[in-house]
């Protein structure tokens, strides 16, 4: 029997996202609670920001022509704290002004207080030669009235929430959270806490995938139902998948998508809907499954099956599940960002597959390689702070420039 050809990662991602529909049921949420959510509409400014010309610092506001005609010595005519309403600036006068306070009519410059000297007779000596407009934040220079402040598809972050608040938005329209059913497969899996490490039977392992997959899904804004571990039995696997499909948008499993006699996910999904098994041209993370499970509605539940090895599961989640889940929520940008960096190690044996190597930045600005790149060594993902995206058939020598994908860019 001929082995199936390996599917390039970019082709797999294209197939995964093609025709994907954003979840229905957008909702309004408090701006306080919108961190990580994805906007379902453009957010337009209903005012200018700043809404008035104001001072960029504590100092003195005045007119440059007055400064010239009075040799830099002006009468202090008023004091303008933030939140107050100034009067018009009289000729030959300056105003004591504070950061954020409105610029009075007649003033066209501000000089910081450290460069001014107030005298006991009510004058201020403004020492440096001023330039019209200096230290003044103009109306609308940050945000113009009716402009798009945050476009539809933006994944909201803390700064985005502050920006929305700055234009008076107490609530924001966002896409619905994906409802994800998370399942593990394998009779060998034991949950931490069920047994002491010393009592773990031969051939059994603690379930690590369940923990990091749930955390990643939650960080991506999903509502996660942890349905536990599936035993290696076809009837129970099929029953659990059928139940999960009734109330979830996505079923995510790890393990059980190979072709072994105890891998029952494939026949169970096939019996309930449709399944595509892909042998990906990447390392780690070769086995990957995508399909649908019927749920009685016109939109079947998505199914994704990840490989069981921890690093393989982590990497395929990063490369395929992350953009899939973000696209379900209407995200406008789902691609991972990579950066050119210097390799401070040797990787002489090129692989025919696209490799994702666990590395860590060093104090010299280069990248160090974790010594064991096995797909079962989860230590490498904790020690490292990113991956090298290494093309097929490419060896690496010290000093070579490589593509570095930081973990922080996709684990948050």
Count of alpha carbons within 13 Å of 402, Cβ hemisphere only? Answer: 36
In the chain, list all ranges with CATH 3.90.105.10.
28-46+148-174
Question: At residue 382, does pLDDT exceed 50?
Answer: yes
**Per residue in 82-111, pLDDT tens?**
999 999 999 999 999 999 999 999 999 999
Pairwise pLDDT comparison (129 vs 261), residue with the higher score: 129
- Give the pLDDT band (50/70/90) at residue 190: confident
* pLDDT for res 402: 98
User: How are beta strands 223-230 and 179-185 bridged, if at all?
Assistant: parallel
Distance CA 207, CA 201 (A): 14
Q: Which residues contact 311 (CB under 8 A, 6 or more apart)?
A: 284, 358, 374, 375, 376, 377, 378, 380, 381
Rounded to two decimals, what is the model's pTM? 0.87
CATH 3.30.70.20 fits 9-24+176-328, yes or no: no
* pLDDT for res 13: 96
The CATH architecture assigned to 54-137 reads: Beta Complex (2.170)
* pLDDT for res 316: 96
* pLDDT for res 205: 76
Q: Which residues contact 159 (CB under 8 A, 6 or more apart)?
A: none
Alpha helices in 317-378 (DSSP H): 322-328
Question: At residue 151, does pLDDT exceed 50?
Answer: yes
DSSP secondary structure code for residue 34 in this structure: -
Lowest mean pLDDT among 129-133, 296-300, 361-365: 296-300
Question: At residue 246, does pLDDT exceed 80?
Answer: yes
* pLDDT for res 338: 94
For the CA atoms of 190, 194, 200, 203, what is the dihedral angle to 10 degrees? Answer: -20
- Percentage of residues of the chain with pLDDT beyond 70: 97
User: 263 near 188, Cβ under 8 Å?
Assistant: no
CA distances from 369 to 325, 356, 386, 389, 405 (A): 30, 11, 10, 13, 14
In the chain, list all ranges with CATH 2.170.190.11.
54-137
Buried b (16+ CB within 10 A) or exposed e, 374-412: ebebbebbeebebbbbbeeeeebeeebebebbbbeebee
* pLDDT for res 320: 96
Distance CA 362, CA 88 (A): 59
- Give the pLDDT band (50/70/90) at residue 188: confident
* pLDDT for res 196: 84
Helix (H, G, I), strand (E, B) or coil at 105: coil
* pLDDT for res 189: 77
User: 25 near 178, Cβ under 8 Å?
Assistant: no
In terms of C-beta density within 10 A (0-12 exposed, 13-18 middle, 19 or more buried), how is residue 237 classed?
Answer: buried
Which CATH number is 339-409 given?
2.40.340.10
Question: At residue 258, does pLDDT exceed 70?
Answer: no
Question: At residue 2, does pLDDT exceed 70?
Answer: no
- Phi-psi sector, 143: left (phi>0), alpha (psi -120 to 50), beta: beta
Average pLDDT, stretch 15-27?
93
Q: What is the mean pLDDT of the chain?
A: 93
* pLDDT for res 260: 53
In the chain, list all ranges with CATH 3.40.980.10.
9-24+176-328
- Give the pLDDT band (50/70/90) at residue 261: very low
**Per residue in 348-367, pLDDT tens?**
999 999 999 999 999 999 99
Question: At residue 315, does pLDDT exceed 80?
Answer: yes
Which CATH number is 28-46+148-174 given?
3.90.105.10
Question: How far from the centroid of its chain's Cα atoms is residue 271's Cα?
Answer: 36
In the chain, list all ranges with CATH 2.40.340.10.
339-409
Average pLDDT, stretch 182-208?
81
Average pLDDT, stretch 274-298?
92
* pLDDT for res 412: 66
Average pLDDT, stretch 247-258?
87
């Amino acid at each position: 029997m001929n082995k199936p050809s390996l599917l390039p990662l970019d082709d797999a991602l294209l197939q995964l996202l093609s025709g994907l529909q954003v979840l229905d049921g957008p909702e309004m949420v408090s701006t306080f609670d919108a961190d990580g959510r994805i906007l379902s509409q453009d957010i337009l400014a209903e005012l200018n920001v700043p809404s008035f010309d104001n001072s960029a610092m504590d100092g003195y506001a005045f007119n440059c022509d007055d400064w010239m005609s009075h040799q830099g010595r002006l009468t202090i005519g008023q004091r303008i704290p933030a939140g107050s309403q100034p009067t018009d600036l009289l000729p030959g006068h300056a105003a004591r002004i504070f950061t954020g306070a409105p610029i009075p009519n007649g003033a066209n410059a501000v000089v910081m207080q450290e460069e001014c000297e107030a005298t006991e007779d009510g004058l201020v000596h403004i020492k440096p030669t001023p330039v019209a407009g200096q230290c003044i934040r103009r109306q609308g220079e940050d945000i113009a009235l009716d402009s798009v402040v945050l476009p539809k598809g933006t994944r909201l972050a803390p700064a985005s929430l502050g920006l929305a608040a700055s234009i008076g938005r107490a609530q924001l329209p966002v896409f619905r959270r994906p409802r994800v059913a998370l399942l593990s497969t394998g009779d060998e899996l034991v949950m931490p806490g069920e047994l002491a490490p010393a009592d773990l039977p031969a051939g059994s392992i603690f379930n690590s995938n369940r923990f990091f997959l749930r955390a990643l899904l939650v960080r991506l804004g999903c509502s996660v139902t942890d349905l536990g571990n599936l035993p290696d039995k076809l009837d129970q696997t099929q029953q659990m998948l059928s139940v999960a499909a009734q109330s979830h948008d996505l079923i995510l499993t790890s393990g059980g998508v190979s072709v072994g006699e105890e891998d029952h996910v494939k026949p169970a999904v096939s019996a309930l809907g449709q399944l595509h098994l892909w042998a990906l041209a990447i390392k780690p993370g070769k086995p990957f499954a995508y399909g649908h499970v019927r749920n009685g509605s016109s939109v079947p539940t998505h199914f994704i099956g990840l490989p069981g090895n921890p690093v393989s599961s982590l990497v395929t989640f990063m490369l395929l599940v992350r953009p899939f889940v973000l696209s379900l929520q209407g995200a406008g940008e789902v691609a991972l960002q990579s950066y050119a960096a210097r390799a401070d190690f040797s990787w002489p044996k090129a692989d025919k597959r696209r490799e994702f190597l666990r590395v860590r930045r060093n104090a010299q600005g280069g990248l160090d390689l974790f010594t064991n790149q096995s797909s079962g060594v989860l230590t490498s993902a904790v020690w490292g702070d990113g991956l090298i995206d290494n093309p097929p058939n490419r060896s690496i020598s010290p000093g070579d420039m490589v593509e570095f994908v930081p973990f922080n860019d996709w684990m948050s």
